[in-house]
């Protein structure tokens, strides 16, 4: 499967790096058509660059890695997402890490599903800092990522992708459960940056027996 990545920041590049190492063909989508080509070249032969719309056309799976303030306009610029698996790793974080701007009765993921008409949105990979993406193993355990979505096939694709990246993937149910997953990211931010634990932390679901 080909992967288009919208946004070339911490998450976009971090996930891109791992996916290239796993031999996926990827295209970075960017607002900057010149720099994105340089970036793609620096990642190697399986990587190309273009606009957000180019990345969407290219990918079977699209990763949305955009600051919340620009998510809606970026989706508009990305064009037709109908039928695409859209991995939403965003968090609607207020300026100065001041809490979540969306929650309780909806979620960033649900808003994105409305804006990205026809896309199969799966929330994933949002609840730990990007610096951990390349080192998801903590001792003998791998960091959990909680995923949710309404399209079961899309969710199983994202589950496999997450496992390849190195996550312990936990299926948390339908997309409305992003209302529960997104605050977890805010907890990670609080612990890492405000409670002084640093970024070398991750959540783990403990199980007494093998769960689904």
Binding residues for ligand NAP, rule: CB under 6 A, are 7-12, 30-32, 65-68, 70, 74, 89-91, 93, 126, 129-130
Q: What's the closest the beta carbon of residue 210 comes to ligand NAP, in angstroms? A: 27
Rounded to a whole number of angstroms, the CA Rg of the chain reads 16
Comparing CB distances to ligand NAP, the nearer of 6 and 154 is: 6
Nearest residue relative to ligand NAP (C-beta): 9
What's the closest the beta carbon of residue 196 comes to ligand NAP, in angstroms? 17
Residues contacting 201, CB < 8 A, separation 6+: 128, 188, 191, 192
- Look up tokens 């990918």; give the residue: 59
Buried b (16+ CB within 10 A) or exposed e, 93-108: beeeeeebebbeeebb
Task: Give 62 or 66: the residue with its C-beta nearer to ligand NAP.
Answer: 66
Distance in Å, CB of 46 to ligand NAP, minimum: 19
Q: What's the closest the beta carbon of residue 209 comes to ligand NAP, in angstroms?
A: 30
Cα–Cα distance for residue pair 212/207, rounded to 1 Å: 10
């Amino acid at each position: 499967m080909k992967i288009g990545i919208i946004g070339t920041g911490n998450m976009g590049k971090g996930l891109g790096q791992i996916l290239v190492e796993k031999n996926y063909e990827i295209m970075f989508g960017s607002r900057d058509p010149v720099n994105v080509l340089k970036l793609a070249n620096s990642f190697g032969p399986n990587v190309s660059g273009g606009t957000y719309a180019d990345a969407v056309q290219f990918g079977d799976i699209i990763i949305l890695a955009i600051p919340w303030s620009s998510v809606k306009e970026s989706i508009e610029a990305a064009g037709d997402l109908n039928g695409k698996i859209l991995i939403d790793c965003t968090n609607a974080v207020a300026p100065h890490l001041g809490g979540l701007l969306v929650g309780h009765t909806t979620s960033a993921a649900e808003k994105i599903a409305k804006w990205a008409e026809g896309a199969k949105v799966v929330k994933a990979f949002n609840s730990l800092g990007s610096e951990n993406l390349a080192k998801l193993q903590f001792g003998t355990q791998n960091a959990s990522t909680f995923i949710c979505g309404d399209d079961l096939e899309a969710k199983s694709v994202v589950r496999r992708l997450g496992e390849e990246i190195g996550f312990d993937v936990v299926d948390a149910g339908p997309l409305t459960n992003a209302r529960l997953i997104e605050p977890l990211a805010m907890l990670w931010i609080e612990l890492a940056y405000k409670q002084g634990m640093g970024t070398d932390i991750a959540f783990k679901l403990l199980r007494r027996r093998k769960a689904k």
